[in-house]
Structure 1
Amino acid sequence: MDSETLADRLARAVAQGRVPDLHGVVVAHRGRVVLEHYGEGEDFRLNEPLGHVRFAPDTLHDVRSVTKSVVGLLYGVALAEGRVPEPGEPLLRHFPEYPDLARDPRRAALTVEHALTMTLGLEWREEVPYTSPANGEIAMELAPDRFRYVLERPVVEEPGVRRSYCGGATALLGRLIEKGTGTALEDYARARLFEPLGIERFEWSTGADGRALAASGLRLAPRDLLAIGRLVLDGGAGVVPESWLAAALRPRVRIDEGSCYGYQWYVGDTWVGGFGNGGQRIHVTPARDLVIAVTAGQYDLPDQPTATVVIDEVVLPGLAG
């Protein structure tokens, strides 16, 4: 590091108001924690206000759509156990409770990989706030059957071509894990991922049907996000199969100029990551042996710069090599 420590750089960014609503940061470089910071501010559990919170190392925090990346890891674990279908298998074959949908040849062409990459080609809107029933994820949770709701959306384009952000895709993956393992998603996560990583406390919000919200319901501490990032950095750490990580972190569909999407993970030129509404982030730069975990409270704001500023303007420039 240069003469100015990461803590100094972050303190300056906080004082200048460049990282509003920053709740937590933990950074590991070359196997050593080099920055850990906790703030305070208004927080929520999904749309439930929690009031003013002073964050500490053991404070659980919504990680929102970073949950999707965790589900992506769990799918790989379940696949290695022979519990879930291969990515190339037809999706509706594993939802026999909806025979009417399977009779539609366009839907019958959907595969598990289309769900993994969010390229289902179904009508889905998540650009509106997550407080609105016009949002696809919220509408899914308000539906009598969330899985049927996803699978019966109108087909609007050829699957496998364009990524369209879809929490419903992750809900389907979570259901496949539950079907295949005969275990609630949160219990499977505890046994196969969290306990092996030393993560002792977590919460997973549920929907009206009592099932874990696979798209956004996890609550973890920043140190837990760091542990997940280090697992990715370490090729699965013997918990997630290395072959699955290689498949999941391969760029499969372009999002924009700077990023692609793999299997529920974002992939850049030099980094991979999990992203969540409000500024939740796991950022892994393998060539620099670097993992960054960020939690923040910028939920539903049109601009959510805090995590990007922490990563791109505080941590990366402050580290040598």
Structure 2
Amino acid sequence: MTTQMRDRLDEMRQAGRVGGLHAVAAVRGGRTLLEYYGTGEDFSWGDSLGVVEFGSETLHDIRSVTKSVTALLYGIALGEGLVPSPAEPLLRHFPKYPDLAADPQRARLTIEHALTMSLGLEWREDLPYNSPANAEIAMELAPDRFRYILERPILEPPGAQWNYCGGATALLGQLIADGTGQLLPQYGQAALFAPLGIERFEWITGADGVASAASGLRLTPRDLARIGELVLAEGAWEGQRIVPADWIRTMLQPRLKTAWGAQYGYHWYIESIAGHRLVAGMGNGGQRLFILPDLDLVVAVTAGNYDGPDQWRTPLAVLEHVILPELA
């Protein structure tokens, strides 16, 4: 662990530039550069946990970084021949809804449109996550979450534009569960977490007992970083193939532009920072999994700035002003 990084982080904290920061785990080439655990108020899916003293064994909501993990699980299941390929029609694999499949416009939807969040359906998550007007919350409250997603009004042709959509991830999670015959947390444990040596995790479920593929995962920051190391190694871990390498490459191929200009692959963001390619999973409150392939660097950040308009500032400040200066 480098003293310079620790000192810079202390300076940033004292200057109030990393408000709400809970933990950081930065790893380069298998070596820990920085591990920090703080204290602060935290929530689990909106339920207050009070003030928490974070440590290396403390599980933390990773919120929508869960989406990126779900994409990894899809790739593992695809490699095992258990889920359909991205090119296949989506509604073919939801046979409970023949009325929706009969709609020619909806029949055009493919699994890739879910992977790239380009379903073209009405879906608003730019509202507080405690509001039933937020589409993800409405999905959780709906009597049938999958019908709720698939019958949203059609706004544009599929594949035309990226639109943030937790419902797309919920569909992928169900395809994994259907194809593997296991609940998503069970498959996640067997196919990903156990092979990585991740012994403790939680996966929050909705009232219907369905695990949230979009935002329900709780991990320690060090284990979140371990998932980043797996991506960095193109799906291999300690000589074992966990995720097909071609899926990692396909998953991280830029396909659409996000609302703020980043590129989007299959449930992962692709940007650049300080001249370096940046691959990231991002979650509400400042949860981040940063991967910088050319620096062999992974940085996991957890924070408590849920629903805040400037929640992106803290994890970006950690990366830009604490970690990267020493690696320049």
TM-score, with structure 1 as normaliser: 0.97
Structure 1 residue 306 corresponds to structure 2 residue 305 = no
Of all paired residues, the percent bearing the same amino acid is 62
How far apart, in 2, do the equivalents of 1:50 and 1:257 lie?
32
Structure 1 residue 319 corresponds to structure 2 residue 322 = no
Aligned to 2:156: 157
Question: Secondary structure at 1:5's aligned position in 2?
Answer: helix
Distance 1:277 1:257, change over 3 A: closer
TM-score, with structure 2 as normaliser: 0.95
Aligned to 2:281: 274
Check whether the contact 1:79–1:85 (CA below 8 A) recurs between aligned residues: yes
Q: What is the one-letter code of the residue matched to 1:259?
A: A
CA RMSD of aligned residues (A): 1.2
How far apart, in 2, do the equivalents of 1:93 and 1:264 lie?
22
Q: What is the one-letter code of the residue matched to 1:298?
A: N
How far apart, in 2, do the equivalents of 1:312 and 1:179 lie?
41
Aligned to 2:252: 249
Structure 1 residue 176 corresponds to structure 2 residue 175 = yes
Aligned to 2:192: 193
Check whether the contact 2:162–2:257 (CA below 8 A) recurs between aligned residues: yes
How far apart, in 1, do the equivalents of 2:9 and 2:160 lie?
40
Aligned to 1:34: 33
Check whether the contact 2:162–2:259 (CA below 8 A) recurs between aligned residues: no
Aligned to 1:106: 105
How far the C-alpha of 1:288 sits from its partner, in A, is 0.5
Count of aligned residue pairs for this structure pair: 319
Q: What is the one-letter code of the residue matched to 1:149?
A: Y
Query: Which one is further off, 258-267 or 36-45?
Result: 258-267
Check whether the contact 2:22–2:38 (CA below 8 A) recurs between aligned residues: yes
How far the C-alpha of 1:303 sits from its partner, in A, is 1.1
Query: Which one is further off, 170-179 or 232-241?
Result: 232-241
Structure 1 residue 260 corresponds to structure 2 residue 263 = yes
Structure 1, residues 157-183: CA drift from partner, whole Å, max 9, x if none? 011011000000000000000010110
Question: Secondary structure at 1:35's aligned position in 2?
Answer: strand
Unmatched tracts of structure 1, length 5 or more: none
How far the C-alpha of 1:31 sits from its partner, in A, is 2.3
Check whether the contact 2:285–2:304 (CA below 8 A) recurs between aligned residues: yes
Check whether the contact 1:9–1:318 (CA below 8 A) recurs between aligned residues: no
Structure 1, residues 242-293: CA drift from partner, whole Å, max 9, x if none? 0000000000101156521100111114010100000000000000111000
- Poorly superposed stretches of 4+, deviation over 3 Å: none
